Amino acid sequence: MPAYQPPFQLTHRMTAQMSRISELLGEWNAINRNTLVPQLRRGNRIRSLHASLAIEQNTLTLEQVTAVLDGRIVLGSPREIQEVRNAFAAYEAMERWLPHRAEDVLAAHALMMAALVDDAGRWRRGSVGVMAGDKLVHMAPPARRVPDLMHDLLHWLETTDAHPLIASTAFHYEFEFIHPFSDGNGRMGRLWQTLILSRWQPMLAYLPVETVIKRRQQEYYDQLGMADAKADCSGFIEFLLDAIETGLRDAIQIENAEKTPVETPVETPVEKSAKTPQRILALLRQQPELTLADIAQAIGRSPRAVERAAAKLQTEGKLCYHGPKKGGRWMVLDDDKAKGRR
């Protein structure tokens, strides 16, 4: 047993969560016969990095992120476009890295933050804190301690007998606590959790857990803060396990909606039209920030067809639009809210 141990206690809730995740993972693997088709791999990866960057205030839409990666011209800030290109390069390079190697962590940061910070690929040399508005919510350990702290954390990761679901989420917390880089710590922590999980189950390299975290962003920050205050990250681990479970349920729901019946190899226009509302609701539950244009591209339907389906869902009380015509967003209504609007 290593001398260093992240501050958490294995709980009954974690055990139950791991059991449910394993069952869902088996179902997801069965749907895809243990490998995602290239289109799904790319689509899920794009959703992952879009959500992870959105957490860090990148304002590009999913449609714009896809356009950047397709080599099309996008009207956006050069920095945000660079962030997208870097993140895609880092996620695509995951399979050649080992989770416990410090040099691989540094190489990943060099890719993730290339042309964004001067010290990409190097541990920070100055003090750093996490701010919420004008309030300091986390002061990271002194820079001089970073190499030793990361050595201890990576050694624990290499030698622990903790289940990968626990090890990956505990690592995520400790990485954010240490804050080893001057910038990019959040996106690196989420990337490295995915890397650890993918070494256990390769399909998890393409599970967009980041979209769930983006949906519950404030709770994500709140759990980090509570873990700091208690010196115990058990609650944060439970939060992330719930995000993984939700991500799997979302993926299964979307892929089941996309699945073509065996007896009908090619969908007719009528069948595509009938499935469109279900696909809209499934995608908006996963990523509420999506526009109808984003959804049209994701499901391969025309913008006009998606607009008609959204209007029908509004009439049925299953969907509503909040905010100004430009800048607002679509919201899926649960049963209670839907009843209140009828």
Same domain? For 106 and 200 the reply is yes
The verdict on residue 2 lying in a domain is: no
Q: Is 29 a domain residue?
A: no
Does residue 20 lie within any of the structural domains?
A: no
Co-location of 73 and 117 in the same domain: yes
Q: Provide the pLDDT for residue 268.
A: 66
Whether residue 98 sits in one domain with residue 50: yes
In this structure, the answer to whether residues 330 and 223 fall within a common structural domain is: no
Co-location of 302 and 187 in the same domain: no
Domain shared by 232 and 326, yes or no: no
- Domain ends where: 228, 254, 280? 254
User: For residues 68 and 222, what is the distance between their CA atoms, to the nearest angstrom?
Assistant: 32
CATH number, domain with residue 313: 1.10.10.10
At which of 201, 231, 254 does a domain end? 254
Number of domains in the chain: 2
Q: Residue 104 maps to which CATH number? A: 1.10.3290.10
Ranges of the chain whose pLDDT falls below 70:
1-2, 132, 258-272, 334-342
Query: Do residues 321 and 238 both lie within one domain?
Result: no
Question: 277 and 161, same structural domain?
Answer: no
pTM: 0.76
Q: Does any domain span residue 328?
A: yes
135 assigned binding-site residue? yes
Kindly report, residue by residue over 36-65, the tens digit of the pLDDT.
778 888 999 999 999 999 999 999 999 999
Is 132 known to sit in a ligand binding site?
yes
Range of the domain at 285: 267-341
Instruction: Tell me: is residue 185 an annotated ligand-binding position.
Output: yes
How high is the pLDDT of residue 297? 79
Asked whether residue 262 is domain-assigned, the answer is: no
Query: Is 157 in the same domain as 185?
Result: yes
Candidate list 12, 151, 179, 322, residue with the active-site label? 179
Does 293 lie in the same domain as 206? no
| 302 and 335 inside one domain | yes
On whether 76 is known to bind a ligand per the annotation, the reply is no
Task: Tell me what pLDDT residue 255 has.
Answer: 82
**Is 186 annotated for ligand binding?**
yes
Question: 24 in a domain, yes or no?
Answer: no
212 falls within a domain: yes
Domain assignment of residue 52, yes or no? yes
In the prediction, which pLDDT does 267 show?
A: 57
pLDDT 10s digits, 93-105: 999 999 999 999 9
User: Given 254, 286, 301, which residue is the final one in a domain?
Assistant: 254
Same-domain status, 104 and 212? yes
Question: What local confidence, expressed as pLDDT, does residue 257 receive?
Answer: 76
pLDDT of residue 262: 42
Asked about 179 being catalytic, the answer comes back as yes
